[in-house]
Amino acid sequence: MDIETLLAKEEIRELRHSFAWNLETSNPDALADLFCADGIIDTGPWGKMEGQDAIRKGYGRAYRDMPQFTAMHVVTNPRLAVTGNEAEGTWYLLDLTLREAHTNPLLLVALYEEKYRRIDGVWKYSFLKLNYLWSAEKGRITAENPMTIPDTTRKAYSAERARAAAE
């Protein structure tokens, strides 16, 4: 492997970590800026967003008035393939909740499927998809047992928003 490929992989790792950080710190503007102008996010039951404006609005709605670090998106085990100014990757995701005391914090296990493009020397997401494998409410995710937005997630977001509005 040559030095340019190693550098590209390290820059993509930083991009992935920035994505998780901007989720945890409820920063939809910075998160959207990690994407190409025509970037796409497919979050399954939570919807699909196409373009930076849609990503900014979608995550702005999802994280509006949310305290920082109500969840942690632990990403690990990257598999990255770089070809010139394009790359593909997969990452494991362990999604943990920090909302409720005395509960198992593991919400879901998934794979991120990602595509990247280097634009003016900067790596950006061109595509990101969540492939769900397991959730605390559904168990193993299959075609017969598909991923849905968990009731506890809906309730937790509603409660967090109500608390934030009251403060």
pLDDT digits (tens, 9 = 90+) for 89-140: 999 999 998 777 667 889 899 999 999 999 999 999 999 999 999 998 899 9
| Degrees to nearest 5, angle at CA 115 with 45 and 15 | 95
Q: Which of 136, 130, 128 is nearest to 108 (CA)?
A: 136
Residue 160 has pLDDT above 60, yes or no: no
- Quick one: CA dihedral 97, 144, 46, 55, positive or negative? positive
Task: Please tell me the distance from the alpha carbon of residue 117 to that of residue 133, in angstroms, as a whole number.
Answer: 27
- Structural domain containing residue 161: 3-165
Please report where in the chains the tokens 């945890």 appear, as a residue: 24
Q: What is the CATH number of the domain that holds 132?
A: 3.10.450.50
Confidence of residue 167 (pLDDT cuts 50, 70, 90): low
Q: Of 31-35, 103-107, 159-163, where does mean pLDDT reach its minimum?
A: 159-163
Strands (E), 4-162: 35-42, 48-50, 71-83, 86-97, 106-119, 122-135, 139-140
* Total domains present in the chain: 1
pTM: 0.86
Beta-strand pair 122-135/35-42: parallel
